[in-house]
């Protein structure tokens, strides 16, 4: 006998038990069914939301403020950033195929396995994920260009290139960001 049945049997006696027991069990079953339906609709909504929202696994140093600025930039533009702080961040970058000359302060990895190194504008990442260039490992903005997402200092801005990293170790210019407005 379950806990609920034991409590009902203990509290109710005789005729009252025969009348109320089925009603209480029916009420409990309805409540359980309603909770299961609500739970499954919540799971469906969460699955639907994550299916529509691209997820980036962001690897960064816990004390880096400009990385937080970049995470805010991509999050405000439709990405879900899941942050981790690996002890050997540079080792992780090398493991992902990002050569030292392309490295910056943080690395993001898409669900498809593409890498995004440094302060890449969200609109460029979105375009790249839609295009999925052949033989591409991902994109990189080496260093920390002044005025790039997360590196804003007032109206100061320096043009920079977003590089496409290829699986063979080569790179090419994927996009040239000439003005601050091109990042948004």
Q: What is the pLDDT of residues 99-111, one digit of tens each?
A: 999 999 999 999 9
**Which of 51, 68, 84 lies at the terminal end of a domain, its last residue?**
51
Mean pLDDT score, 30-47: 36
62 burial level (CB within 10 Å; 0-12, 13-18, 19+): exposed
What's the gap between Cα 23 and its chain centre? 47
- Eight-state DSSP code of residue 1: -
**Domains identified in the chain, total number:** 2
Helix boundaries (H) for 53-107: 65-75, 89-95
10 Å CB burial of residue 161 (0-12, 13-18, 19+) is middle
Count Cα neighbours of 129 within 13 Å in the Cβ-side half-sphere: 22
pLDDT category of residue 51 using cuts at 50, 70 and 90? low
Kindly state whether residues 144 and 104 are assigned to the same domain. Answer: yes
Tell me: do 62 and 140 sit in the same domain. Answer: yes
Residue 117, SS3 per DSSP: strand
- Average predicted confidence (pLDDT) for the chain: 81
Residue pLDDT, tens place only, 120-159:
999 999 999 999 999 999 999 999 999 999 999 999 999 9
Q: Which domain holds residue 178?
A: 54-183
The answer to whether residues 41 and 86 belong to one domain is no
Q: What is the pLDDT of residues 65-83, one digit of tens each?
A: 899 999 999 999 999 999 9
- pLDDT for the residue 154: 93
What CATH number is given to the structural domain containing 143? Answer: 3.40.30
């Amino acid at each position: 006998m379950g806990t609920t049945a034991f409590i009902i049997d203990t509290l109710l006696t005789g005729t009252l038990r025969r009348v109320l027991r089925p009603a209480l069990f029916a009420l409990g079953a309805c409540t359980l069914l309603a909770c299961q339906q609500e739970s499954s609709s919540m799971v469906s909504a969460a699955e639907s939301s994550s299916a529509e929202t691209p997820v980036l696994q962001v690897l960064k140093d816990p004390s880096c403020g400009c990385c937080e600025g970049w995470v805010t930039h991509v999050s405000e533009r439709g990405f879900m950033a899941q942050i981790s702080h690996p002890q050997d961040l540079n080792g992780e970058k090398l493991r992902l195929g990002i050569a030292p000359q392309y490295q910056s302060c943080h690395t993001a990895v898409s669900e498809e396995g593409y890498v995004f190194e440094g302060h890449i504008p969200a609109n460029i990442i979105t375009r790249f994920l839609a295009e999925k260039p052949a033989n591409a490992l991902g994109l990189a903005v080496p260093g920390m260009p002044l005025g790039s997402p997360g590196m804003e200092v007032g109206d100061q801005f320096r043009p920079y290139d977003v590089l496409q990293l290829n699986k063979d170790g080569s790179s090419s210019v994927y996009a040239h960001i000439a003005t601050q407005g091109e990042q948004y």
